[in-house]
Amino acid sequence: MPGVFSVETSLMGSKYLKATFLAICFMASAMIVFAEPETILRIGIETGAQSISLTLPAGGDQLDEKSRRIKSFRAGETFSWSVQSESSVTALKARHRSRRKVQTVVLAGRRMRFTSRRGPILINGRPYRGYIDVSFTRTGAQVINCVGIEDYVRGVVGSEVGSLSPGETLKAQAVIARTYAIANRGKHGKAGFDLCNREHCQVYGGVKAERSSVDTAVNATRGIIMISDGVPISTMYHATCGGMTSDNEKVYGGTPTKYLRRVRCDYCKSGTKYRWNQRIEIARLRSALASEGLGFNRLYGVETVSPAPLDRVDQVRLKTDRGELRVKGTTFRRLFNLPSTTFAIPDTSLPVQRQKPSLRIASTPATGHTSPPQVSTGLFAGGRLTGPSQLIVQTAAGVRRTRRPASGWVVAGGRKPPLATPVQRSLSLNGGTSELNGITIFGRGYGHQVGLCQAGAVELGRRRWSYRQILALYYSHVALRQLRYDGVLRRK
C-alpha cells in the first residue's frame, strides 16, 4: 500500500502540475487575446488643400477604398496631386476618351491610403508617423494622419510646451494631452476625423515636434490618463492664467464641472502675457462694433462688468451718442484679439492718455477714511476625534498629506485679498461731456484660463514638484488610470 500511495500521490502531483501549467498558459493566452490595441487617432492635417505632395523615404504602397494595392513606391518616391492637374486629366479624358495608366486616373470622389514600409511619411515636406488617408474632390483634398495615441502625444507635447521644460512638467503635459485625446475622440466626427492639428483641439506637429526629453516624458507616463467618476476628463489647459484660473462654466457656459474649478496660481509670473495692456483707437472701435451691428459716432465712457477687479469680464458697456451699447466680454476679446477676457478699463472720465490708472480702496462709511483690504482669518480647533482624519496641505515644497495629531487639529487659515491690479473695479459711466478718442485696456493671462496653467506648471517643475502634484493643483476630484496596451507591438 505504501507503494500504491506514493504512485497515486505522484500521479496526483503530475496532474496538478499539468493543470497548473495549462492554467498559466490559458491566462497568458487570455492576456494576449484580450489585450486592447493601442488607440489609433485620425488627425486632420489639411482640409480643402489645393495641392499635396506625399514622399515615402523608405517606400510604401497606395491602397484604394477596398485596401487593394494599386501602386508601390520606391524609396524616396513622391506622389503629387493638385486641383489643376485633376481638372486637366478630366478635360483630356472628355476630349480624347484616353485610357491611360494610374497617373491619369481621375481621383475626385475617391479615398486613397498611403502606407510606409517603415518610418514616417512626408506631407508637403513635413514628416508624420502612422499612415495617411487622402480624400480627393474637384475643389481640394482632405489629408488625415492615422497615428497611434502614444506617437500622437509625442507630437503634441513638444508643440504645446517647450521641450526644454522640466521633466515633470513634460510628464504632466503628456498625461493631459493623452487624456484630452481619449476624452474628445470624434470631436470632428462629421468631418471624418477625430481631432484637428491646431489650437482648436491640440497643436500636433508630427515628427518635427519630437525631442528626446519629450520621448522620455511620454514613455514614463505611457498609457496614463486622468479620470473622474471612472470617465476620462476633458483636460483643458492654457498658456498663462495670470494668477487665477477660471471655472469652466464662467468661460464656456453650461453645467459646472467639478474637476475644472477655479484655483489660485502664484507660479506663472514669468509666463506670456502675465500682465498686458492694449490701446484701441476710436476708428478701430467704431469699425469692429459696426460689424456686430452696434454703430456709433462719439464715445463718452466705458465700463466693464465683472465679479471682481481684473477678473473675467461678463460685459462691456459703452456710453455713446447713440445710447448705451453692451458687448459680451468674449465677443469683445474676439473683436480686438485680446490675450484673454480677464481685463479692466481705467476710469474714462478723463482723457485716457492723461490718466494714471489706480486702485481705489473702499471708504469706511462712518469716518470716510480709506481702509486696507480686509483679510478674514478663521480658526478650526478640535479635540482628538474632531475634524477629518487627514488633510492634504499645499506647501512651498509641494502637496503633502498629514494625519490628525494626537492633540487634535489647530489650523489657522486666512483669505487673501483680491488679485493685485492697477485699475479699479466699478467704473462709473461718463456724463457725456468729454469725448474719448480711444481706450486703454489692462489685463492678465493668456488663453481661456480653464484647467492647467502651462506657465505655472513650468515653474512648479523647476521647484521639483512631481507631475502628480502639478496635476493635483489644477484639477480637482480626479484619479490616474493606466491604459493597458503594452503587449501590442508598435511600428518603429
d(C-alpha 94, C-alpha 81), whole Å = 19
pLDDT of residue 485: 80
Phi/psi at 436 (nearest 5 deg)?
-100, 145
Say how many C-beta atoms besides its own lie within 10 A of residue 294's C-beta. Answer: 16
C-alpha cell at 205: 506637429
pTM above 0.75, yes or no: no
Phi/psi at 30 (nearest 5 deg)?
-65, -40
Q: Mean pLDDT per segment of 10 residues, for the chain of length 492 residues?
A: 42 48 43 63 94 95 93 94 75 53 68 95 96 93 96 95 94 97 94 94 95 96 95 94 92 91 94 94 94 92 86 92 93 95 73 40 42 43 56 61 66 51 43 78 94 96 96 94 68 45
Q: How many helices (H) and strands (E) does the chain have?
A: 10, 26
Residues 6+ apart with CB under 8 A from 157: 163, 170, 173, 174, 177, 209, 214, 217, 218
pLDDT of residue 28: 43
Reduce the DSSP state of residue 29 to 3 states and report it: helix
pLDDT of residue 235: 93
pLDDT of residue 347: 58
Q: What is the DSSP letter of 468?
A: H
pLDDT of residue 83: 86
Residues 6+ apart with CB under 8 A from 252: 448, 450
Phi/psi at 374 (nearest 5 deg)?
-75, 140
pLDDT of residue 210: 94
Residues 6+ apart with CB under 8 A from 474: 237, 245, 263, 265, 451, 452, 453, 456, 457
Reduce the DSSP state of residue 421 to 3 states and report it: coil
